[in-house]
């Protein structure tokens, strides 16, 4: 994609409107620094505008802002009806239309323009704010890319982000998009202290306890803690005994979970009046809203890749965006994290090659499916296609979802950063113009009984939530090498023998796929144990239940497990089964478990 000459800003007091009259069309605006005022620029531009924002809080925040009280802003999200949108358009004659909408509510905008007989594509300039979110969130929020087909039909259109990720969608090239970078000529880098450890909660406790001694702040000053797991947040609050001094800012569903456990200081919108001494934020608040305070608080980011992989932060997108929320700056920035040597590391080239091969395999099977001579054959091919990794890269219409592919590549790269300290530091150093990363020596905390206790702090109100907590603990325990770990697993088995047995047979992914349904899990377990007539894709499905990407397995275990699966299904394999047979189903790397040869499963082949 062609790049235009960069536009320079020479001071943090300069904004986009000072250097660019208005955002041009067919542009991906790489603004480099947060708080530059790109959305502000569009909302003030003398043209009709539709601005697509990633979430509700930023829309409500801009609509309430005194800066825009005369700009005819109208926010559209869940609860705003089609009739409300039509009324706004009809009542805005003689004014510029300034519509802010979430991706999920964009269809209401489209329908409203059709109802009033106005061509949305010819009339309005469409700006997608925080464009990196289309890649970051599409794996769990598929509708975030809902407006993209319409986006390319606008005569005037642009995307903006301080941290844009790579877009592989060929339509950007087809429509002649160019990148335009804002280039600061002053030093805008931020010092980030990366603090690796073996216990993130204990490390967070120690860091917080040291702050008052190292600064002029008293012990009752506020801390801002960002981590993308409501369970981890609750565990932190409970273990540090700060429940009565905390506020949590998160999505409505997470609020419901906290309120079930009698924690009521949780909010789905930011308001400094709701601040407490300890303020926790999930990913809903990583982007596109402003924290304006009279003081410069302490900022802490927490990653625990054992407890929840979604807490892994991308230095380029997540970390920069989180720091950018604080418009008046912060006193100190800490990233507290652990690493996991079992996490797979793959290059971007390897990931793209895997996707290309997966697509070729899928398309080959689809050709067989289209030419199948009868219903039985079609069903067999369809079942095989649905078991392929590339099936997850399709949209609801069965078309290739480029953003899902970009998400897969980005997520895999980010997870790889947390393989070891060196890799994580290297990821930070790729962006040393913005992040001045200081990697500290790993701090090891004594692992006591409290560290292994079931996280009962978040007392589930349902059997499903209890079982989710137990599954997370089982993942954290891994292979249970120590006596303490084995005793703890026995405690879990005593608490819920069914879910522990299900985990041993199906793995966490298998249980989550069945949404913790007792009936479905029990049925799958029976199939795994007793199914005698299976001859098709069941072999693949059971192998995927027994072997998980990112895990290491001893060679003798692999051979025994494969033989067990084939014997269970009464299927005669085409060749003699060895440990290397697993390479037909997974890409692997040689590894060791203690002193025994093993294989690390890197990715699925089929």
Round to whole Å and give the CA distance between 81 and 514.
34
Does the pLDDT value for residue 274 go beyond 50?
yes
Neighbours of 227 (CB within 10 A): 25
Are residues 176 and 40 part of one domain?
yes
Poorest-confidence range of 100-104, 204-208, 471-475? 471-475
Residue where a domain stops, chosen among 274, 309, 337: 337
User: Are 91 and 156 within one domain?
Assistant: yes
Are residue 364 and residue 294 in the same domain, yes or no? no
Please check whether residue 474 lies inside any domain of the structure. Answer: no
Per-residue pLDDT, 428: 95
Using the predicted structure, report yes or no on whether residue 460 has a pLDDT greater than 70: no
Residues 241 and 356 in one domain: no
Q: Residue 453: pLDDT band by 50, 70, 90 thresholds?
A: very low
> According to the model, what pLDDT value does residue 485 have?
65
With respect to residue 367, please indicate whether it lies within any of the assigned structural domains.
yes
Q: Is the pLDDT of residue 33 over 70?
A: yes
Supply 197's token pair.
């450890």
Average pLDDT on 286-309 reads 88
Tell me: pLDDT of 491 over 60: yes
Helices vs strands, H then E, count in the chain:
24, 19
* 399 & 331 share domain: no
- Among residues 148, 169, 184, the one where a domain terminates is 184
pLDDT at position 195 = 94
Is the confidence at residue 378, as pLDDT, over 70?
A: yes
Query: Is there a domain that residue 403 lies in?
Result: yes
| pLDDT on residue 494 | 80
Q: What DSSP line would sit under 119-150, residue for residue?
A: -HHHHEEEEEESTTHHHHSTTT-GGGGTTHHH
Q: With helix as H, strand as E and coil as C, how does 296-311 read? A: CCEEEEEECCCCCHHH
Q: What is the pLDDT of residue 533?
A: 44
Q: pLDDT: is 155 or 369 the higher one?
A: 155
Q: What is the pLDDT of residue 289?
A: 77
| pLDDT at site 376 | 87
The confidence band for 97, taking pLDDT boundaries of 50, 70 and 90, is very high
The reported pTM is: 0.73
Among 5-14, 96-105, 131-140, the range with the most confident prediction by mean pLDDT is 96-105
Residue 350 in tokens: 């390897």
Is 439 a domain residue? no
Task: Say whether pLDDT at 273 is over 60.
Answer: yes
**Does residue 326 sit in the same domain as residue 351?**
no
pLDDT over 50 at 454, yes or no? no
Across-strand partners of 27? 158, 178
Residue 535 lies in a domain: no
Six token digits for residue 551: 């895990």
225 & 298 share domain: yes
- Strands 156-161, 27-30: parallel, antiparallel or unpaired by DSSP? parallel
* Whether the predicted pLDDT of 572 surpasses 80: no
Give how far the C-alpha of residue 126 lies from the chain's centroid of Cα atoms, to the nearest Å: 25
The domain of 235 spans 190-337
Tens-digit pLDDT profile for residues 316-347: 889 999 998 898 888 889 999 999 888 999 99
pLDDT given at position 449: 45
Q: Do 157 and 44 share a domain, yes or no? A: yes
> Which tokens is 498 given?
């069914």
29 within domain boundaries = yes
- Residue 405: the pLDDT is 92
Tokens of 343: 């996490």
Query: pLDDT tens digits for 533-558?
Result: 444 567 787 888 889 988 999 999 99
Same domain? 16 vs 48: yes
pLDDT band at 180 (very low <50, low <70, confident <90, very high): very high
Supply the mean pLDDT for the chain: 87
Q: Which of 423-456 are b and which e, b meaning 16 or more Cβ less than 10 Å from the residue's Cβ?
A: ebbebbeebeebbbbebeeeeeeeeeeeebeebe
The CATH number of the domain holding residue 179 is: 3.40.50.300
The predicted pLDDT at position 481 comes to: 61
Question: Which is nearest to 133 in space by CA: 163, 97, 168, 95?
Answer: 163
Number of domains, the chain: 3
| Local confidence band at 529 (pLDDT 50, 70, 90 cut-offs) | low
Whether 30 and 106 share a structural domain: yes
- pLDDT(4) > 60: yes
Q: Tell me if 109 is assigned to some domain.
A: yes
* pLDDT one-digit tens code per residue, 380-402: 888 888 888 898 898 888 889 99
Number of other residues whose CB lies within 10 A of the CB of residue 136 = 28
What average pLDDT score do residues 428-444 get? 88
Closest by CA to 1, choosing from 27, 23, 25, 20, is 27
What pLDDT is stored for residue 479 in this prediction?
A: 67
Per-residue pLDDT band for 91 (boundaries 50, 70, 90) equals very high
Average pLDDT (233-247) is 93
Q: Would residue 445 count as lying in a domain?
A: no
Task: Judge if 100 and 242 occupy the same domain.
Answer: no
Q: Are residues 167 and 236 both part of a single domain?
A: no
Mean pLDDT lowest for which of 108-112, 288-292, 358-362, 421-425? 288-292
Question: What residues have CB less than 8 Å from 323, skipping those under 6 apart?
Answer: 34, 190, 192, 299, 330, 333
- Residue ending a domain, among 321, 337, 353, is 337
């Amino acid at each position: 994609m062609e790049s235009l000459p960069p536009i320079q800003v020479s001071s943090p007091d300069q904004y986009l409107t000072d250097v660019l009259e208005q955002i041009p069309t067919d542009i991906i605006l790489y603004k480099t620094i947060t708080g530059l005022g790109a959305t502000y620029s569009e909302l003030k531009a003398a043209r009709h505008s539709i601005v697509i924002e990633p979430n509700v809080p930023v829309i409500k925040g801009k609509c309430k802002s005194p800066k825009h009280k005369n700009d005819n802003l109208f926010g559209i999200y869940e609860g705003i009806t089609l009739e409300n949108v039509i009324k706004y358009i009809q009542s805005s004659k003689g004014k510029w239309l300034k519509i802010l909408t979430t991706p999920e509510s964009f269809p209401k905008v489209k329908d409203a323009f059709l109802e009033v007989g106005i061509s949305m594509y010819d009339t309005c300039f469409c700006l997608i704010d925080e464009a990196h979110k289309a890649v970051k969130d599409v794996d769990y929020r598929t509708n975030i890319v809902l407006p993209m087909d319409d986006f390319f039909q606008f005569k005037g259109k642009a995307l903006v982000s301080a941290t844009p990720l790579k877009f592989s969608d060929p339509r950007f090239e087809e429509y002649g998009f160019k990148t335009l970078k804002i280039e600061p000529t002053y030093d805008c880098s931020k010092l980030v202290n990366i603090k690796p450890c073996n216990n993130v909660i204990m490390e967070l406790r120690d860091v917080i306890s040291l702050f008052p001694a190292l600064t002029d702040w008293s012990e009752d000053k506020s801390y801002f803690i960002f981590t993308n797991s409501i369970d981890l947040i609750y565990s932190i609050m409970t273990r540090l005994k700060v429940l009565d001094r905390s506020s949590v800012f998160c999505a409505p569903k997470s609020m419901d979970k906290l309120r079930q456990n009698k924690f009521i200081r949780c909010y789905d919108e930011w308001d400094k009046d709701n601040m407490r001494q300890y303020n926790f934020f999930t990913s809903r608040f990583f982007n596109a809203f402003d924290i304006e305070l009279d003081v410069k608080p302490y900022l802490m980011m927490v990653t625990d890749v054992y407890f929840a992989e979604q807490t892994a932060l991308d230095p380029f997108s997540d970390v920069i965006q989180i720091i950018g929320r604080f418009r008046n700056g912060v006193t100190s920035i800490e990233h507290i994290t652990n690493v996991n040597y079992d996490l797979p590391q793959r290059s971007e080239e390897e990931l793209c090659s895997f996707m290309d091969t997966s697509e070729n395999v899928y398309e080959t099977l689809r050709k067989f499916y289209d030419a199948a001579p009868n219903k039985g054959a079609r069903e067999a091919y369809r079942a095989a296609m649905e078991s392929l990794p590339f099936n997850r890269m399709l949209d609801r219409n069965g078309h290739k979802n480029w953003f899902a592919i970009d998400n897969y590549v980005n997520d895999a790269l980010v997870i790889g950063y947390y393989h070891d300290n060196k890799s994580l530091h290297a990821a930070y150093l790729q962006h040393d113009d913005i992040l001045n990363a200081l990697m500290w020596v790993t701090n090891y905390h004594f692992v006591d009984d409290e560290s292994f206790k079931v996280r009962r702090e978040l007392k589930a109100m349902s059997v499903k939530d209890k079982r989710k907590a137990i599954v997370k603990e089982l993942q954290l325990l891994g292979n249970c090498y120590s006596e303490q770990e084995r005793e703890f697993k026995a405690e879990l088995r005593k608490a819920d023998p069914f879910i522990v047995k299900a985990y041993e047979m199906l793995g966490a992914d298998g249980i989550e796929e069945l949404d913790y349904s007792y009936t479905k899990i029990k049925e799958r377990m029976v199939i795994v144990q007793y199914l005698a007539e299976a001859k098709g894709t069941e072999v693949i499905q059971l192998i995927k239940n027994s072997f998980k990407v990112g895990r290491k397995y001893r060679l003798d275990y692999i051979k025994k497990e494969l033989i067990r699966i084939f014997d269970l299904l009464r299927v005669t394999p085409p060749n003699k089964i060895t440990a290397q047979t697993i390479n037909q189903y997974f890409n692997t790397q040689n590894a060791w478990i203690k002193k025994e040869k093993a294989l690390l499963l890197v990715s699925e082949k089929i």
